[in-house]
Structure 1
Amino acid sequence: MNPVKDIACPDAPAYKPLQIIHADDSLLVLNKPSGLLSVPGRGEDKQDCLSRRVQSLYPDALVVHRLDMATSGLMLMARGAAMQRAMNQLFERREVHKRYVALVDGRLAPAPTADGWGLIDLPIAVDWPRRPLRIIDAAGKPSQTRWRSLAFDEAANFTRVELEPITGRSHQLRVHLLALGHPILGDALYAPDTVQVRSPRLLLHACALRLLHPATGAQLSFESPPDF
């Protein structure tokens, strides 16, 4: 699907223009570039973000979920408070289905299942001495990620992996892949230096979204292929 609009920001030339993949009276689907915050952060240097850029065109646009600054790909916003509540309920009921693609260090062998999908079921907690980092901790919140190995590049020593988060914890995909022993290339927070330097950005992209339209009930499905 072609983007409805591209939004450029003259004050941030290093960022690619934002692509609005879909827009209607209820919701927006955006393609966030890596390196851009989803919402404002603390400090004057962290005020440029996806939500503010979108609100310059759609003043009623409200956030319903976030992507990490380093993650690229598809993200939803609601049009108005009532629709924000409806979409929050979809997320709470796990009726918004998301899929990601990542490149991870080393050879991640396919899961030994009939369909090739494995499950990471490891609780995640805040690493308080190093917050905002997260860790695997038995006292943490239940966290589940489905994963599937797509291809191994022997020459470059990485595996292309497809991911489906069942829960939505902060840094969940990054922490779960690290727990498998296969950190994401370019991950400045969790990967060792030898893996971090293999890419100038985090190679994690939200590539697909599927949900029922909260106003019409129509099935919505969006895709955004990664540029890696």
Structure 2
Amino acid sequence: MPFTDDAINALNLQESQYPLEFFQTFAQQVTVYEDNDIWVVDKPAGLLSVDGKTLKVSMLARLERANPNVKLIHRLDMDTSGLLIFAKNAAAQTNISKQFIDRLPQKTYQARVFGIWEDVGATGRISVPVRYEPTTKPRHIVDRDWSKNALTLYEVLAHEQCNGQAVTRVALKPVTGRSHQLRVHMVHAGHVIIGDSIYAEGLALEIAPRLNLHAQQLRLKHPVLGAWMDWESSVPF
């Protein structure tokens, strides 16, 4: 559910009054890897990656309080948890941003979707364009006439139960990086991600307290060393 104006103002005020020690401790708690050039963190669900138009509480803003040199490279949806990489200087930011443009980084997400979706071990690909639909803000939709394609690879990991309902655990690998791509592709597949406050309804929304989507693995080349590096985050659901 969207925040009310009063709630946004209260959150912004609260964040502005926290002491430096809060941000330093937060940075330590979320750090997965850090060196002179890059900073890999584990973003909690419910926190923006970067400040919004009104809500000024985000991962970037908090890290900047601990280290003003931190620079944004990519984002996760507010409701998605998991691995984010930031740069600590302009050269590293440029290098890794170009890697994302060239689709070199390898990203794996885990999700739990509503219902039984294919056999365990099944793999496949979803290749349909995704675009923003302004009449149903903030939703995105599949539009086969849209010029920019979106490609997701998937693997069925397990069939499970969540609060008495059948769900399927899947690994999702976005080849492209369209906004809401994984969420919309799961809707398109007929198995919405559980706990998705934007796309799920009824039991699919109610059985999970949060969006069950987590950026579990990230692999890319170090901007200075040139070596491939891998990071993994524990899935919290």
Same fold per superposition (TM over 0.5): yes
Q: What is the CA-CA distance between 1:156 and the residue it aligns to?
A: 3.1
- Report the equivalent of 2:199: 190
- Secondary structure of 2:108's counterpart equals strand
TM (norm. structure 2) is: 0.85
Identity over the aligned pairs, expressed in percent?
Answer: 38
Aligned ranges 1:5-154 → 2 under 5 Å: 17=26, 18-43=29-54, 46-110=55-119, 116-140=122-146, 141-153=148-160
Confirm or deny: 8 A CA contact 1:110 1:148 kept in the other structure: no
- Secondary structure of 1:157's counterpart equals strand
2:175 is aligned with 1:172: no
Alignment-mate amino acid for residue 151 of structure 2: Q
Q: How many residues align?
A: 212
Confirm or deny: 8 A CA contact 1:125 1:139 kept in the other structure: no
TM (norm. structure 1) is: 0.88
Alignment-mate amino acid for residue 177 of structure 2: G
Q: What is the CA-CA distance between 1:214 and the residue it aligns to?
A: 1.3
Matches of 2:145 and 2:84, distance apart in 1: 30
For structure 2, list consecutive stretches of 5 or more residues without a partner in the other structure: 1-14
Q: What is the CA-CA distance between 1:132 and the residue it aligns to?
A: 2.6
For structure 1, list consecutive stretches of 5 or more residues without a partner in the other structure: 1-8
Q: Would you identify which runs of 4 or more consecutive aligned residues in structure 1 move more than 6 Å? A: none
Matches of 2:165 and 2:138, distance apart in 1: 31
Alignment-mate amino acid for residue 92 of structure 2: M
Higher percent of residues as helix = 2
Which stretch of the first structure deviates more once superposed, 150-159 or 205-214?
150-159
